[in-house]
């Protein structure tokens, strides 16, 4: 599920049938970190906290119970940082929802991405859909750290994921695959976000490196 790598490790987009479901919108990498989803009954999407200007209609994002994407510690006492966390979380949820729905052209993903970020996200999503696989299992997303830059319209977000219980599932054969046993299940992500004219924090780029999460 790793989307792009800082130093392209074995978990980058170029990997073949493994796991890596973490950040949606990643760069050149293959579904070597996806946790395949199947068809379970969809659960109501978590409503995003209002992090944009009043009147902005956000897309409704639903994930099936077969894929549990959880966010640990995604709270900040700073309202500006919380707005970044809210939108980044929804972008990630939208990316996995697109993989599960077999929809690389997801409007929800486009909503939370800049033009360049969307190109990266679509490539990441297609690394799954082109192989006819989805994601299932559990993927915790944790230890987020937001840095707001001086201009007020750019932010960086670092966070980690643990792919120990995340898998890919072939839509036709139902074959389930996970990461190799000797592969570190934790992946560190670094996201650059830009604030749109509507006040939505959109992903501009995502990089990842396996095994770089703080111990």
Domain ranges of the chain: 62-210
62-210 folds as Nuclear Transport Factor 2; Chain: A, (3.10.450)
Q: What is the pLDDT of residue 215?
A: 52
Residue range 115-122: average pLDDT? 95
pLDDT digits (tens, 9 = 90+) for 166-214: 999 999 999 999 999 999 999 999 999 999 999 999 999 999 999 888 6
- Within the chain, where are the H helices? 79-100, 107-111, 115-129
pLDDT of 209 reads 94
Give strand pairing partners of 65: none
> Residues of the chain with pLDDT > 90: what percent?
70
- Calpha distance 63→96 (Å, rounded): 8
End-to-end CA, the chain: 20
Q: In the structure encoding, which two tokens stand for residue 212, read together?
A: 């770089």
Judged against a pLDDT cut of 90, whether residue 6 lies above it is answered with no
The model carries a pTM of 0.80
Q: Are 125 and 133 in contact (CB under 8 A)?
A: no
Average pLDDT, the chain: 81
Confidence tier at 22 by pLDDT (50, 70, 90): very low
* pLDDT the model gives residue 1: 62
Closest among 61, 6, 58 to 29, alpha carbons compared? 6
pLDDT 10s digits, 41-60: 333 334 344 444 556 899 99
| Arithmetic mean of pLDDT, 62-66 | 97
**Between the CA atoms of 184, 61, 120 and 18, what dihedral angle is there, to the nearest 10 degrees?**
30
93 three-class SS? helix
Give dist(CA 69, CA 46) in Å, integer.
11
């Amino acid at each position: 599920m790793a989307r792009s790598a800082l130093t392209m490790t074995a978990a980058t987009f170029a990997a073949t049938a493994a796991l890596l479901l973490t950040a949606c919108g990643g760069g050149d990498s293959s579904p070597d970190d996806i946790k395949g989803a199947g068809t379970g009954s969809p659960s109501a999407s978590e409503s995003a906290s209002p992090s944009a200007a009043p009147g902005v209609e956000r897309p409704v994002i639903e994930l099936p119970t077969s894929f549990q994407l959880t966010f640990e510690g995604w709270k900040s006492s700073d309202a500006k940082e919380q707005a970044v966390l809210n939108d980044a979380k929804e972008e990630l949820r939208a990316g996995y929802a697109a993989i599960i729905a077999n929809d690389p052209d997801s409007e929800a993903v486009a909503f939370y991405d800049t033009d360049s970020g969307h190109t990266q996200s679509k490539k990441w999503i297609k690394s799954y859909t082109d192989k006819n696989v989805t994601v299932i299992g559990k993927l915790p997303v944790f230890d987020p750290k937001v840095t707001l830059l001086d201009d007020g319209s750019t932010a960086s977000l670092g966070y980690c994921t643990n792919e120990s219980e995340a898998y890919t599932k072939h839509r036709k054969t139902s074959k389930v695959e996970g990461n190799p046993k000797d592969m570190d299940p934790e992946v560190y992500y670094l996201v650059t976000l830009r604030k749109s004219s509507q006040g939505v924090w959109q992903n501009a780029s995502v990089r990842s490196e396996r095994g770089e999460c703080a111990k």
